[in-house]
Structure 1
Amino acid sequence: MNRAWLTLALVLCGTIIGMMGVDLVLPAVPLLPEALGGDPSQAQLVLAAYVGGTCIGLLGYGALGDRVATSRLIVGSLLATAAVSLACAMAPNIEALIGLRALQGMVAAGPAVFAPGIVKAMFDETRAVRAIGLLGSIEALGPALAPVAGAGLLALGGWSLNFEVMAAGAFAAAVLVMLTGGLPQVGRRGQGSFMVLLRDPTFLRYALSQASVLGGLLVFVFGMPTVFVRVHGGTLADFITMQMSGVVTFIIAANTAAHWGDRLGAERVIAFGTGLSALGAAGQFAYALSGGTSALVITALFIPVNTGLGLRGPAGFFRAILASRGDDARASALVILCILTAAALGTSIVSPWIERGTVPLTAAALAFHLAALVCLVALPPLRQPVSPSCAP
């Protein structure tokens, strides 16, 4: 069991390195035109290219998961991430960096695809939900802490140091994974298909509801810095307070999800968490319609949204993997892709009205949360008994 948790820690490190591709680099983006040429709009493409590359990488690794050994794919992903990150640090101009960032996103997506399947292979359902809750808790700290670390690296060594640190982290993680002697195989050899999963209503129940709840939360989070500063006349401290309050409540809820799942059953916890998030989103929308602008009230209404996600998130993600009936890598890739798509779609729809305050943001977020409830009502749950996996 100790070895299983050590393996999980290494996979988590690989996943965090992939997430660092946005958050760690974010503080350097405003300085890139001065350092590499181009203009601010091209600098923003440095972020967009990474996200776009990640979406392609998710599908690629998902397809390879049942054909190539999981250990080889994760080690290869980390080594490729190290190499491309070094190339990014040496990019001669902004155009080259944009192209390299798309490639970096593609190769760095591997650990995120395989982490849930590895958890499923190593733990029984209760421990798996607990492990996924722990994974989500640590990953939730990334958007809050990585930009701070990125700003420190920027001040210490310039924009290229951010990429060099990412390269060093990826290489070290690859070496450690190799030293463990291998990882559990994720996926079933040559029998999977993305289309089979997309036609499976039980898989869609968990994948789409997960993406809708998290997508609605992310749409709200992505828009609130602008609303707080430009519309409400506040400061970024208001946003940071709201975000940290949400992260803390999410972590607490995610790490109690397994306990509540044992007592009430996974489906009840998923339904309750989804409903609680929707209730919080409805409160946000009602407060926005009333013309309210208090940062304290907005933060208070944000807490139940994060609590609901924390409760339903670990069990919801794990049940999506179970519903794939062995096609773990493709299932994980599709869930993550659905989350990214929901966040990108919602943000693009809301952005033209961002300076009209919280009404458009909260309306879009509420629509996503209601869609999650519809998924739970309209699509069938996983009914077959779940056999515990043998942990090493």
Structure 2
Amino acid sequence: MNRVLTLSLVVGSTIIGLMGTDLILPAVPQLPEALGGDPALAQLVLAAYIGGACAGLLAFGALGDRVSTNRLFIGSLTLAALLSFACSRAPSIEALIGLRAVQGMVVSGPAVFAPGIVKALFDERGAMAAIGVLGSIEALGPALAPIAGVALLAFGGWELNFEVMAGVAGMVALLLLVSGGVPQVSRRGVGSFTALLRDPVFMRYAMSQALVLGGLLVFVFGMPTVFVRVNGGSLTDFIVMQVCGVTTFIIAANSATKAVDRFGAERVIATGTWVAAAGAAGQFLYALSGGTSVLVITALFIPVNSGLGLRGPPGFFRAILASHGDDARGSGLVILFLLATSAIGTALVSPWIEKGTILLAGMALAFHLAAGACLLMLPKLGATDPSV
């Protein structure tokens, strides 16, 4: 099968998982009026999806030893289409929260297998570059999906957002079925999640990766409500912030491979982590001052995205290397950590979401500092490991 076509369909599959948050974000402020409840309960529509995905990541990671990657991949997309359509018919916000938890479980399959598929398609340097490209294309989701979500919301209501997600998932599943599917991801058969959790080298890369991105996502998930309900702005403010952040992420992510060639993976990972932390610290200090300027919030959001883009490709790839051949479980745990931090952070700040950005920015900063602590305290890949 053509590598470019395979990579394109894999990217499309992972974007569907992102649609579950980014395409739905614009509808969140309107859900209380449409389905009942309050803004805090509406935030759980996001948290339930992420929490459900955590369970799905473990399930798909374990099933990867027993069932072919292709069957799991296409099956995940098919179920995602069905659950997305069911969400569009939810009669209450409580029912939608429950459906979103199940939707998150079934849609997590492509995210588990995508890094291992990339690793199977390319050599080490090519895989790192491909992960950067994959991340760049996926990053367009937070910028473009809210724009599409706003248009869909105006055209057909919140239900249409879920219906479009169902249609895209079904279409990609059909294309994969017709084109021959995806290659088998490496599997050990005797691996375990426990072994990876006990491995400090794997945890160094997995946790630092998850905490940097998790901190960014907690901030992003809360900002539509803050911009609209607290700052008296509009969703356009959120979109401007996202477009600027995603643009800088893409530039940094596609520069990461060359930076690794010149400075080494560890230095690039550390630099990106601390650049992102500096941006998060700026957001927190600005929130403490009572600032609400869209321009300032956007400007401070740029280094967070730049740091993530710089450290993202080498950080994720070295996490997969540190799993020592247990690719599905390794990538599953990285994304599990990411979604767990995002879900916990979002759930913790949701009761006070109408208080402004102080708690959002504070939670994000705490995650970024924890990522830096992982790099300082946990051991690196040894000199005998590849790509050091």
User: Which range, TM-score by smaller chain?
Assistant: 0.7 to 0.9
Matching residue of 1:10: 9
Task: Pick closer, same or farther for the CA change 1:203–1:83 going to 2, 3 Å.
Answer: same
Deviation at 1:9, TM superposition (A): 0.8
Match of 1:380 in 2: 379
1:223-262 to 2 correspondences below 5 Å = 223-228=222-227, 235-262=234-261
Q: Show CA shifts across 1:256-297 (max 9, x none).
A: 111111221111110111121122223334444555544333
| 1:309-357 deviation per Cα after TM superposition (whole angstroms, max 9, x unaligned) | 1000111011111100111111111111111222233334444555555
Query: Is the alpha carbon distance of 1:98 and 1:309 closer, same or farther for their aligned partners in structure 2, counting shifts above 3 Å?
Result: closer
- Residue 185 of structure 1 aligns with which residue? 184
Range with bigger deviation, 219-228 or 274-283: 219-228
The residue number in structure 1 matching 2:314 is 315
- CA distance in 2 between partners of 1:55 and 1:19 (Å): 14
Matches within 5 A, 1:347-366: 347-351=346-350, 354=353, 357-366=356-365
Deviations 1:192-229 (A, max 9, x none): 21111110001100111111211222233334445555
Q: Which residue of 2 aligns with 1:219?
A: 218
Counterpart check, 1:110 vs 2:114: no
* Matched pairs, number: 386
Q: Report the more deviating stretch, 58-67 or 224-233.
A: 224-233
Contact 1:206 1:317 in 2 (8 A): yes
* AA matched with 1:219: V
Change (3 A) 1:159 1:355: closer
Kept after mapping to 1: 8 A contact 2:273/2:308: yes
Work out whether 1:83 is the aligned partner of 2:97.
no
More divergent stretch after superposition (362-371 vs 92-101): 92-101
- Deviation at 1:32? 6.0
Larger Rg: 1
Aligned to 2:142: 143
Tell me the C-alpha RMSD between the 2 structures: 2.9
Return the TM-score normalized by structure 2. 0.88
CA 1:362–1:108: 2 relative to 1, 3 Å: closer
Does the CA-based 8 Å contact 2:53-2:339 persist in structure 1? no
Contact 2:281 2:365 survives alignment (8 Å): yes
Secondary structure in structure 2 of the residue aligned to 1:385 = coil
Q: Is the 8 A contact 1:66 1:327 kept in 2?
A: no
Matched to 1:251, the amino acid is: I
User: How do 1:146-295 and structure 2 match up within 5 A?
Assistant: 146-228=145-227, 235-290=234-289, 292-295=291-294
Q: Distance in 1 between matches of 2:360 and 2:32?
A: 30
Q: Distance in 2 between matches of 1:26 and 1:228?
A: 12
1:157-176, CA deviations, whole angstroms, 9 ceiling, x for partnerless residues? Answer: 45444333323222221222
Aligned residue type for 2:249 = F
Preserved CA contact (<8 Å) 1:127 1:258: no
Deviating more after overlay: 318-327 vs 174-183: 174-183
Alpha-carbon separation, structure 2, partners of 1:39 and 1:287: 31
Aligned to 1:345: 344
**131-140 vs 86-95, greater mean Cα deviation:** 86-95
- Give the counterpart letter for 2:201 in structure 1: T
TM-score w.r.t. the length of structure 1 is: 0.87
* Structure 1 unaligned residues grouped into runs of 5+: none
CA distance in 1 between partners of 2:72 and 2:119 (Å)? 18
- Match of 1:326, SS state, is coil
Contact 1:256 1:311 in 2 (8 A): yes
Q: Structure 1 counterpart of 2:103, which letter? A: Q
Identity of aligned residues (%): 70
Cα 1:122–1:101 change in 2 (3 A) is: same
Q: Which one is further off, 52-61 or 228-237?
A: 228-237
SS at match of 1:68: coil
**5+ long unaligned stretches in structure 2:** none
Task: Kindly indicate whether residue 65 of structure 2 is the aligned counterpart of residue 66 of structure 1.
Answer: yes
